[in-house]
Amino acid sequence: MNDTVKPMTTIGLTGGIGSGKSLAAKEFIRLGAQVIDSDALAHQVTSAGGVAMPAIEEAFGKEFLMEDGSLNREKMREYAFNHRPALTILESITHPLIKEASHAALEAALKKNPPYIIFMIPLLFESNNWEGRFDKIIVTDCSVETQVQRVVLRNKLPREQVEKIMAAQMSREERVKNADFVINNDGLLIDLNLQVMDIHQKIIAL
């Protein structure tokens, strides 16, 4: 009798801003996967009373805080994109705390005994904290123009700012080249969901 327990399969889900990561994650959840959202964890540690806020206030000052004590994300985003050392400082504060929160989220997810666990990480390839940790990597992809239009509509940002954010991210070609699975999200929601189903079945078969 073989009592060997197969290790939990872990998947990285990434993609450019506006490429449909959240939509894909929602469908994977419907199919039974557990999804750990690094953006949600980042919001958690930088919310009012969040564990990152004392260090952020000390490094940047109260002017980068909202009235409730949470991080003023819009102001910090604009400042960090124009002052790269500030981004390095912010990440040195938040990344270890997000990683710690992700370990706690993983423990909670494992207790639910899912078929596999997905870590949704927007800047997976750009961050040294995550790459190499996953059995497979999924990339959501769409045309640059589709990305721009979606983010302008969703985030109410000017086109120039969206293009600046995208320029700071890895190119589409590089992301796709590093992917094990690619979800094309230039079409309808049903097209995305069918691709998710196909990838789900392939992951189950690993």
* Residues in the annotated binding site for ATP: 18-23
- CA pair distance 120, 118, nearest whole angstrom: 6
| Cα dihedral: 148, 152, 158, 161 (round 10) | -50
Task: Tell me the one-letter amino acid at 18.
Answer: G
Annotated binding site: 18-23
Measured between alpha carbons, how far is residue 84 from residues 25, 77, 87 in Å?
Answer: 30, 11, 5
What would the DSSP string read from start to end of 20-58?
Answer: SHHHHHHHHHHTT-EEEEHHHHHHHHTSTT-TTHHHHHH
